[in-house]
Amino acid sequence: MSGAITDKERLRRVVFGAVYKTPVTDMHTHLYAPAFEGLGLWGVDHLLTYHYLIAETMRQTPLSHEEFQSLDRRAMAEHVWKTLFVDHSPYSEACRGVLTTLGRLGLDVSSRDLSAYRKWYDGLTYRRFVDLVFSAAGVKTVVMTNDPFDPRERELWLKKGDALTRDPRFRPSLRIDPLLFDWGNQYRVLRELGYDVGPVFSADDHRTVEETRRFLIDWGRRMDALYLGASFPPDFDYPSDSPASQLLDHCVLEACGRLNVPFAMMVGVRRRVNPSLGLAGDMVGRARVEAVERICARHPARRFFVTMLSRENQHELAVLARKFRNLMVFGCWWFLNNPSLVEEITEMRCELLGTAFIPQHSDARVLDQLIYKWDHSRRVIARVLCRKYEDLFDTGWRMEPREIERDVSDLLDRNFWKFVKGSI
Q: Which residues contact 198 (CB under 8 A, 6 or more apart)?
A: 187, 205, 207, 208
- pLDDT band of 278, cuts 50, 70, 90: confident
Residues 150-178: pLDDT tens digits?
A: 999 999 999 999 999 999 999 999 999 99
> Could you tell me if residue 308 is inside a domain?
yes
> Could you tell me if residue 110 is inside a domain?
no
Is residue 281 pLDDT above 80, yes or no? yes
Q: Which residues contact 274 (CB under 8 A, 6 or more apart)?
A: 280, 281
What is the predicted pLDDT for the residue at 279?
80
Q: What is the C-alpha end-to-end distance of the chain, expressed in Å?
A: 29
- Under DSSP, the state recorded for 266 is E
| Residue 92 exposed, middle or buried by CB count within 10 Å (0-12, 13-18, 19+) | middle
CATH of residue 155: 3.20.20.140
Pairwise CA distance, residues 329 & 316, whole Å: 11
Q: Which amino acid is at 49?
A: T
- Going by C-alpha positions, the residue among 133, 134, 130, 165 that lies closest to residue 24 is 134
> Could you tell me if residue 53 is inside a domain?
no
What is the predicted pLDDT for the residue at 68?
95
> Could you tell me if residue 319 is inside a domain?
yes
Residues 331-386: pLDDT tens digits?
A: 999 999 999 999 999 999 999 999 999 999 999 999 999 999 999 999 999 999 99
User: Beta strand 327-329 with 283-284: parallel, antiparallel or unpaired?
Assistant: unpaired
The total number of structural domains in the chain stands at 1
- pLDDT band of 410, cuts 50, 70, 90: very high
Q: Which amino acid is at 179?
A: L
What is the predicted pLDDT for the residue at 109?
97
Widest CA span in the chain: 68
> Could you tell me if residue 339 is inside a domain?
yes
Provide the domain limits for residue 339: 8-39+137-421
Q: Average pLDDT over the chain, rounded to whole?
A: 97
Residues 69-83: pLDDT tens digits?
A: 999 999 999 999 999
Is residue 2 pLDDT above 70, yes or no? no
The whole-number average pLDDT for the span 314-335 is 98
Residues 380-409: pLDDT tens digits?
A: 999 999 999 999 999 999 999 999 999 999
Q: What is the DSSP string of 104-148?
A: HTT--GGG--HHHHHHHHHT--HHHHHHHHHHHHTEEEEE--B-T
> Could you tell me if residue 3 is inside a domain?
no
Pairwise CA distance, residues 251 & 246, whole Å: 8
**pTM of the full predicted structure?**
0.96
Residues 32-58: pLDDT tens digits?
A: 999 999 999 999 999 999 999 999 999
> Could you tell me if residue 21 is inside a domain?
yes
Q: Which residues contact 57 (CB under 8 A, 6 or more apart)?
A: 68, 79, 80, 83, 84
> Could you tell me if residue 61 is inside a domain?
no
What is the predicted pLDDT for the residue at 280?
87
The whole-number average pLDDT for the span 230-250 is 97
